Structure 1
């Protein structure tokens, strides 16, 4: 996407080539970080599953503690996968030139919001409506 092609709100400066490159670099590093996190989490979960099968001699507290740890790891992995999908989608939108447009109403999300939250897909108004539901 060339400069000036990405949506901004009225009164905002157009995206510069450097700002677009910065957004892309931030999203790409986030994708790499999340993929590594998901991989490590998968290994941790596999280890926890192996350990839980070998519960001989565990009392209820040990078993409960292992279950809580496993559920926590599963929740973290699910969250990381969701963030990865969002980051990958943001990169696709950056390439397509639709980065910074609200996926709900189609209006510009705003450059300032995109720089603060590079994975944002909704403008503030639509995000607030979604959270009130």
Structure 2
């Protein structure tokens, strides 16, 4: 058989689930940062669930500038995850864009939007 050149459909489905759950979380975080920028005063009591309260207070202590940076970072992360989903559809997911080899599953579980293997990332080759 030799080395695998791509992940199986089952494996891709597993990664897809990981990405979708990360995407959902990232979008929630993004909304939270966005809201903390627009509301600023944090006097919003629409949702009084304890977890939301903590998030609200956490977000309220962020300066608009910090919240803006975090929102930007989340947005970039969301775009990376969406691109990863496209790669899953194209069945090119998990293939290092430099070496053409498969990126290890451990790495993909940790960084599901990775497009470089550890070797390539560390500048070998």
Bin of the TM-score, shorter chain as denominator length: 0.5 to 0.7
Give the CA RMSD over aligned residues.
2.8
Q: Which runs of 4+ in 1 moved over 6 A?
A: none
Structure with more helix by fraction: 1
Aligned partner of residue 33 in structure 2, secondary structure: helix
Query: What stretches of structure 1 of length at least 5 have no aligned partner?
Result: 1-8, 52-65
Instruction: State the shift of 1:116 in Å.
Output: 3.1
Residue equivalent to 1:21: 13
Aligned partner of residue 121 in structure 1, secondary structure: coil
Q: What is the distance in 2 between the residues matched to 1:21 and 1:42?
A: 31
Residue equivalent to 1:126: 120
Q: Tell me the alpha carbon deviations over residues 64-110 of structure 1, each in whole angstroms, 9 at most, x when there is no partner.
A: xx9x7122111211111111111111111011010011123333222
**1:94 corresponds to 2:88:** yes
TM-score of the superposed pair, with normalisation by structure 1: 0.64
Query: What stretches of structure 2 of length at least 5 have no aligned partner?
Result: 42-59
CA 1:109 to 1:29, structure 2 compared with 1: closer, same or farther past 3 Å?
same
Q: What is the distance in 2 between the residues matched to 1:109 and 1:16?
A: 13
TM-score of the superposed pair, with normalisation by structure 2: 0.67
Range moving further from structure 2, 91-100 or 119-128: 119-128
Q: What is the distance in 2 between the residues matched to 1:17 and 1:104?
A: 23
1:47-126 equivalent positions in 2, closer than 5 A? 47-48=39-40, 69-126=63-120
Structure with the greater alpha carbon radius of gyration? 1
